[in-house]
Structure 1
Amino acid sequence: MLKELHLKSVGPASQFDIEFANRLNIFTGDNGLGKSFLLDVAWWVMTGNWVDQPAYPQTNTDELPKIISKINSKNWQILFPEINVEGSFNFYEQKWQRTLSLRDLSKNIVIFVRVDGGFSLFDPARQRDLAYNFDPDTLWNGLKLKGKVVCNGLIDDWVKWQNQPLKTPFELLSLVIKKLAPRPDEWIEVGEPKRVSVEDVRDIPTINLPYGNIPIIQASAGMKRILGLAYLFVWAWYEHQKASEIRKQEPMNQIVLLIDEVESHLHPRWQRVILPSILTVINQLDPNLKIQVLVTTHSPLVLASLEPIFDGDQDKLFLFELLGETVSLNEISWVKQGDTVGWLTSEIFGLKQARSQQAEMAIEAAEAWMRYDDMNNFPEYLRTQPQIHQELQKLLPGHDPFWPRWIVTAEKRSNAG
Structure 2
Amino acid sequence: MLNHLHLSNVGLAPDLRINWAPRINLVTGDNGLGKSFLLDLAWWALTRTWAGAVALPATSAKKPTLGYGVQGAGSKATKVESEFRRADASWPLPAGKPPMPGIVIYIRIDGGFSVWDPARNYWRTDPGRPSAYHFQAPQVWDGLDLNGQRVCEGLERDWVNWQQGQKPQFAALESVLRALSPPGEPLRAGGAQRVFIGEGRDRPTLLVGGQTVPVALASAGVRRVLALAYFLVWAWHEHREAARLLGKQPEERLVLLFDEPETHLHPRWQRVILPSLLAAIDSLRGDQSRAPQLLVASHSPLVAASLEPLFDSAQDDLMHLGVHSGQVLVRQGLWAKQGDATNWLVSDIFGLEQARSLDAERAIEAAEAFMRGDKPLPKGLDSKAAINRQLQRLLAAEDDFWPRWLVETGALPSVGSSSPPKAKPARKARQ
TM range (shorter): over 0.9
- Matched residue of 1:234: which SS? helix
Quote the residue 1:75 is aligned against. Answer: 77
Q: Indicate which of 71, 92, 99 corresponds to 2:94.
A: 99
Aligned pairs for 1:351-362 (under 5 A) are 351-362=352-363
- Give me the whole-angstrom Cα distance separating, in 1, the residues matched to 2:245 and 2:35: 38
1:370 deviates by: 1.6
- Give me the whole-angstrom Cα distance separating, in 1, the residues matched to 2:333 and 2:155: 39
Number of matched pairs: 400
- Give me the whole-angstrom Cα distance separating, in 2, the residues matched to 1:160 and 1:362: 59
Contact 2:10–2:61 (Cα < 8 Å) also in 1? no
Quote the residue 1:315 is aligned against. Answer: 316
1:211 deviates by: 4.9
Contact 2:46–2:101 (Cα < 8 Å) also in 1? no
- Give me the whole-angstrom Cα distance separating, in 2, the residues matched to 1:105 and 1:326: 33
Gaps of 5+ in 1: 83-88
Contact 1:4–1:20 (Cα < 8 Å) also in 2? yes
1:123 aligned onto 2:117: yes
- Give me the whole-angstrom Cα distance separating, in 1, the residues matched to 2:99 and 2:380: 66
- Give me the whole-angstrom Cα distance separating, in 2, the residues matched to 1:412 and 1:23: 52
Quote the residue 1:15 is aligned against. Answer: 15
Quote the residue 2:102 is aligned against. Answer: 108
Aligned pairs for 1:1-80 (under 5 A) are 1-62=1-62, 64-72=63-71, 73-80=75-82
Quote the residue 1:305 is aligned against. Answer: 306
* CA spacing shift, 1:147–1:379, aligned 2, 3 Å: same
Contact 1:344–1:351 (Cα < 8 Å) also in 2? yes
Letter in 1 for 2:52: D
1:285 aligned onto 2:284: yes
1:5 deviates by: 1.2
Quote the residue 2:171 is aligned against. Answer: 171
Quote the residue 1:242 is aligned against. Answer: 241
Quote the residue 2:255 is aligned against. Answer: 256
1:59 deviates by: 3.0
Quote the sequence identity (%).
46
Deviations 1:258-306 (A, max 9, x none): 0111111111111000000111111112122541010000000000000
Quote the residue 2:180 is aligned against. Answer: 180
Q: CA RMSD in A?
A: 1.5
Letter in 2 for 1:81: E
Gaps of 5+ in 2: 123-129, 413-431
* CA spacing shift, 1:239–1:371, aligned 2, 3 Å: same
TM-score of the superposed pair, with normalisation by structure 1: 0.93
Contact 2:51–2:134 (Cα < 8 Å) also in 1? yes
* CA spacing shift, 1:198–1:311, aligned 2, 3 Å: same
Quote the residue 2:193 is aligned against. Answer: 194
- Give me the whole-angstrom Cα distance separating, in 2, the residues matched to 1:35 and 1:145: 30
1:219 aligned onto 2:218: yes
TM-score of the superposed pair, with normalisation by structure 2: 0.90
- Matched residue of 1:236: which SS? helix
1:187 deviates by: 1.7
* CA spacing shift, 1:254–1:40, aligned 2, 3 Å: same
1:182 deviates by: 1.0
1:210 deviates by: 2.3
Letter in 2 for 1:94: A
Deviations 1:30-71 (A, max 9, x none): 001110000001111111111221111233343x22111111
* CA spacing shift, 1:397–1:130, aligned 2, 3 Å: same
- Give me the whole-angstrom Cα distance separating, in 2, the residues matched to 1:411 and 1:74: 66
1:351 deviates by: 1.1
- Matched residue of 1:126: which SS? helix
Deviations 1:380-413 (A, max 9, x none): 2001011101111111112212122212322289
- Matched residue of 1:69: which SS? strand
Contact 1:187–1:210 (Cα < 8 Å) also in 2? no
- Give me the whole-angstrom Cα distance separating, in 2, the residues matched to 1:255 and 1:284: 14
Quote the residue 2:150 is aligned against. Answer: 149
Contact 1:78–1:100 (Cα < 8 Å) also in 2? no
Quote the residue 1:85 is aligned against. Answer: none
Contact 1:282–1:289 (Cα < 8 Å) also in 2? no
- Give me the whole-angstrom Cα distance separating, in 1, the residues matched to 2:168 and 2:153: 17
